[in-house]
Every structure is written in C-alpha cells, then in structure tokens.
Structure 1
Amino acid sequence: FAPAGKIVSLGGVDAMKSVLGVEEVILTKKPGNIMQELTSNIDKVGHIIASGDTLEKAEQSAEQARKLFELEVDETAGIDWGLVEERARERFSEQVCWVCKSCDGKNCASGVPGMGGTGSQKSFQDNSDALAEWRIVPSYVRHSVEADSGIELFGRHFEHPVLGAPMTGAGTNLKEALSESELSLGMLRAYREAGSVAFLGDGASLGKFPVILDALEQEEGFGVLICKPREDTEEIIQRMNQALERGVLAVGMDIDALAFRTLHLRGQKGLARPSEDIAKIRDRIQAPFILKGILNVRDAIAAAVAGVDYIVVSNHGGRVLDEAPGAARVLSEVRQAWIDNGGSPDGVLADGGVRSGADAFKYLGLGARAVLVGRPSVIALAGGGPVALRYMIHQYARELRETMHLCGVSSVMEVPEKGVLQLATMGDGPSGASLFKKS
C-alpha cells in the first residue's frame, strides 16, 4: 500500500513484467500526482494482472512482482494541517490543550502540569508579545541574493536553524496523548529527517530516563540531551555521559528548572549553582555544553566565565516563573554580555513563541544563531505523527528562507547585520536599524 503524499518517482515496472505469470502491469498514477489515503481500488498506484494454473500460483506471481515495485513518496505533501489540528484536539483532553488558532497562552486549556504556562500565563504570553513588538523591514532595490538557511552547530552542518525544544513528561503533561517513546522518537526522527536536530529533556521522574536513552540509541545518538539541575551532581554527570556513549551531539542543563513544579511532584530537588560549580561539571564533559534558561546579563556572564559553549535564551515556555520576560525582550543584551565575556557569537540560541519562519527570522535578527520549537512540535506529533512534524518544520524553514530573500539576506549569519528589524513603536524613525556592530 502506498502512503498518502506526492509521488516523487515510480520504477521497477520492467522487472515486474518479467516475473513468470505476470501478464501486465498497469500504472494509474505518475510522478507529481498526489496520493490520498487508500479507501478503494481507485486510490491505488496501479494493478498487476497475473495468471497461473491455480489462483494460489497467480497470487504468488503478483506478490513477487509487487515486491519489485519502486515507489518514492513525499508524505509531507499530502498533509492537511486542519486535519492535523483536529486530530490533535481529539487526542488531547480538554484539560491539556485546545490547539488554539494562535498558541500564545491567552486562552490556554492547562497550566503546569499540562501544555500551558505557570500562574497567570503572562510569561508564556510575553514570548509572543515580545516578538510581536518587532517588525521585519524588507529590501527590494538591491542585487538579487540566494537565501541559504544552513548553519554550523555542535560541529555539524544543518539545513536550517529550526530545532526541536526539549519536551518530556508525556504522561504528566499530555495525559498519555502520546507515550514517552512516541514523543522522544518522533522529535528525534522528524527533526533529523527535516534537516536539523531535536533536543530531549531527561524528565522529572527517575524512571523516565531509560526511555530517553532508548530513543537516542535507536536514532544513533542524533540529538541533544538537556538535564534537569538536580541536587545530585553525580547523577547529572552520569546521565550526560550515558547519553554521550550513545553518540549525542551535545549535552547541557536547563538551569531555570531548579524549582520546576513537575520536578517537585516527582520528589526531585533542583539546585542553583554558581559559575564555578557549573565550570566543574563542564570540565568533566567531553562534548559541547549548553546552559538553557538564560534571561539576564549576570547569568550570561557567569555562563561565559564557566566555559559553557552555548546558551539558550529562554523563559522555559513560561512554565517556571510567572511575570518573566519573553526571550525576545532580553536577547540582544544577553547576547552582547555573553560575547563581551568571551562567549562565541555563534553560541546563542533562543526559544519561546516561535510559530512561523518569520518568528524564527526575528530571533535571528536579535542575535540568536538558531531557535527551538516546543509546543507546536507536540501538537504536530499528536495530530499526524512524525510526518506532520516534518511538514511543519519544512514550512517554518521555507518561510524563513522566503523572509531572508525578501530582506536581501543571503545567510543566517547576515541577518543581525542587515538592519532588518524595527520596533513597532518607532513610528517615523529609521526604516531599519542593525542592533549589532559588524565584526
């Protein structure tokens, strides 16, 4: 049976016809046609006519020929996003997620645990609000450019800077709409197949980590592990090394989860650590090291001093502290403090409120080298599995490249240099202003 999607190529027909007993092979589709979900013979790619002394022999010939048929289908081309959202709503309970038209925390079905933010949801909301304060300024009178969204990260090349945010707690937060394995494997596979990489969290409960490790092992370690800032430092290091044994590209800690509610619900205690203690952990890890949850200049400086390789500017999706600023509100000053104290300009990532390629572009314009996408990834998985998630990632990446093209930006590294963002409150001010000095 052919999967739904756009037919890329068909082959093997001559080999099929050479099978003893096969009289004819009739194709009803061709490359470029869209395949729907199979509901009748009309939906099939083709038909095999076979004969034999008995019905059994004819069926054997047809089956032998069928195995020689070569079919390549782009499954993402057959995605109906409205149907994905509808199916996600069906899988989520009303206490988890309503799959709102705009996922911005302003009409959320749940808090923490759940898919929402903590408290009044204002931290969740401010991720979108902070991004909305920036406008993208295009440039049309110029030489033509080809937009290349590729980036170098963790010693690897990726096709685009749209990465998967660390999402765990399928039972606690999603009420089993997805299993932990479905969530972890779905994230890893979809982001890898779509040209980038997904982060995974280690989970609040101690028993969840083996599932995470199994997912990483199945995907040959192609992912990034982010550990909770547990009180037990040796437990953190052990988990990171277990992930590294499976080949992960990088490891790190989401330092803002030290008082995370789901951690406490599982009887685990988080711990704040000064720069020197983070440096001791970093020194024992032979891989790129990330600190996620940076929201102020002090922490950015401390991370740089500790020798951290990457930081993620993030308020944890508004799930840790009520009334925290959205990441876009603090990104540029955090980035500058990081660089001024020895951090790499390529070592700044961000997340929070990314719902399109234009949102990703804004974060790049504010100084991030890549962005992480959380809630929309889970909605895509719940509504259509890894295929739907790949579709969403490709859409964000395509929108990003289109935005780059319209702004005359040829590479991700150029975005913060081109003066492509303008505060919505600037009024009659300049048409665009670069936030950074050219190096």
Structure 2
Amino acid sequence: MPEVPLPRVTRLPPGDVLRLGTVGVRTRPVRTVLAALGIAIGIAALIAVVSIPASNQAALRAQLAALGPNLLTVVPGTNIAGGKAKLPPVAVDMIRRIGPVREVSATGETDATVRRTDLVPAQETGGLSVKAARLDLLPVLGGSVRTGRFLDQATEAFPVAVLGARAAQVLGTELRPGLPAPSVWIKDRWFTVVGVLAANPLAFEVDNAVLVGWKAAEKHLGFDGTPGQIYVRADDRAVEAVKSVLGRTANPKSPNEVLVSRPSDALAAQQLVEQAYSGLFLGLGGVALLVGGIGVANTMVISVLERRREIGLRRALGASRRQISGQFLAEAVVLAGIGGGIGLLIGVAATAVYSASQGWPAVLPLTALAGGVGAAVVVGVLAGLYPAVRASRLTPTEALATT
C-alpha cells in the first residue's frame, strides 16, 4: 500500500492564540484579579518611584530658575580664639565693588527676642530670631511679600516689623484686609506688623525671622550696625569666580574667618538624598514585582493541573506541544499584562495626586511608562515558561486518564 503522508501541523494564528490564552482569565475572574494584584503593585511602585522624583526635579529646576542659582551668602565664621567672628561694617560696600556682582544686601543679628504678647515667657521664642534688614533685601533674595508690604524709607526707623513665612505661623499673626495691623512684642516694646513674606527655600533663616529696619534696630534694639549675613547676586557666568574672592573682599584682614556658600547647592544636596531614597523604594518595587511574578507562576501551575483533561483532549485532536505551550504562555502574559495595565494606571494616578499636593508639575517619563509595560510582559513570560513547558509535555493518554 502506498504511504499516506501525515498532515502538516498547522500553526495557530495570533488571534486564536490570544483567544485561547484568555480562556482561563475569563472563566476565573477572582483568581485573575488576585494573581494580577501583585504585578499591579510592583508596576505601580516602579512608575511612582521614577515619576515622583522626576516631578520633584522639574519643580526644583523651575524653583532655582525663578530664585536664581547665582545667589551667594557671606557669614562670619570663628576667630582664632574659637569664638564667633564679626564682619567689618564696610563689608557690604567692599563686596559691591566686585565687578561681576549685581546686587548686595544684608541682615544683622540682634539679641532681641520676639513674642506674641508681653505675657508670654521670654524663653518661649519658638526658635525665631529678630534681624535688622536693609531695604533692598527682598529683591536680592528674589523673594516676595505674601500680604502687606516690605520695609521702606518711611518705616525703617520706626518700630515696624515684617514677618518671615514660618515666623508668621509660629506667632499666629496674619494681616487681614479691613482689620487693624497686628503687633508683636520685641524686646521691651510693641512693633507693628506691616507685612508677611512668602516662603523662600534659599533663605530659610529669613523665613524663621522677624525683620525690622536697620535704623530701627540701632535705635530700639541696641544693634551695632555690623552685618551678620550678606547676600550677593553675581553674574551667572562668574559665580564661582566671585565666590572665590568674597572672603578676602569682605574681611581682608582675616579672610579665614569668613564662610561663603551657595544656597542652591544645599537644595541640590537635598535632591541627592531624595534620589538615594528613591533607589531604595525602586528596589522595594522590584521585590513586589518579583512576588507578583511568583504569584502568576503559581496560578498558572494550578491552572495546568486543573485543565489536564482539556490539554489531553486537544492533544488527541491534533494540537502540537508548541500550540499547548503557546496557549499557557499567552495566558500568563495576558494575566501579567492585566496587572501591568492596572499598575500603570495606579502609578500615574499616584504621581499626579502627590505632585498636585506638593505643587509640582506632574512628570511621567516615557522610559518609566514603557519600562513598566515591558517589565510586566517579561514577568509574564518568565512566570509562564515553566507551566507552559509542563503542560506541553503531557501526553494525551496521561492527561485524559486523570481523575
């Protein structure tokens, strides 16, 4: 008899593979949700951990662009005896002579204390200080007045005060339209509050201070006129050059007693710390994703055990091992893809909500979104590989004989 050629094994089109891969997902919705939950948590954590720091960096860049990275500060250090040094009274005028310097202003330290009323004990200062301020301080800092107005020539010699952002919170003092201006007790007299400043991240010492006019501090608070902290705005291209000569210019006799810093560097250092914590949370997100992958693999192994008769019947009807393994591998990828999609939505929503609560622009890097989807697919393939191979190795007789 002539040999009868065996029929060629046909390959399932992708659409049929996908339909077969969704059978277990559609018929067991509760198990699908529970298995996809681990993947969703991992993907959401990965996206949020990448996107939230990116939003913070965007806000920081915008903040530095608005405030200016060209701000330098000059403060007295310690003298040879170990005590606190002093800047010369002419330090501000000397610094102003540096060519690339645009603006210079200063505050002065006083030993006065501030309280809400004279009935509050003198030692309860709330960590606030009283500083003498020059009239050009606010534009040099790039700050703004939240309510009221800043010191001017008409008020600098009188008992008038402007509160930093935190100082206003600690004292519980605010300017309200239509109401008389409040007062605070400084040293031994009342000072009328004429303004409250907006928060300035480059000058936290001003946020924690009550500012009075230079002349008023000399007249009422025993201020000696010595600058305690000098703020310098330099040309953007000459910041480092100006920084290198500020110490010698401010105090030519003892330049080693002068400390020069760049406040924006502190913000950058803070950003590095936050990035370190982001790396930690990224690792935790990876662990959650790994646990989710193990959950998907466990679900697929159980699915193979429960569907042995189905596997045996399909093998008896001519399905190849490749088709069987493709079916269960597709199911694992679909299951992980569902978790990845849910995690993507959760991660995006978490980033948007947290960024809005902090006043940041929501930044969603495409690499993070694409990486989240890719990670879900990879986890699905790895988690479904063993169950798919195990299902493909079942012979028709072995599978159909299962009770």
Q: Normalising to structure 2: TM-score of the pair?
A: 0.24
Q: Normalising to structure 1: TM-score of the pair?
A: 0.23
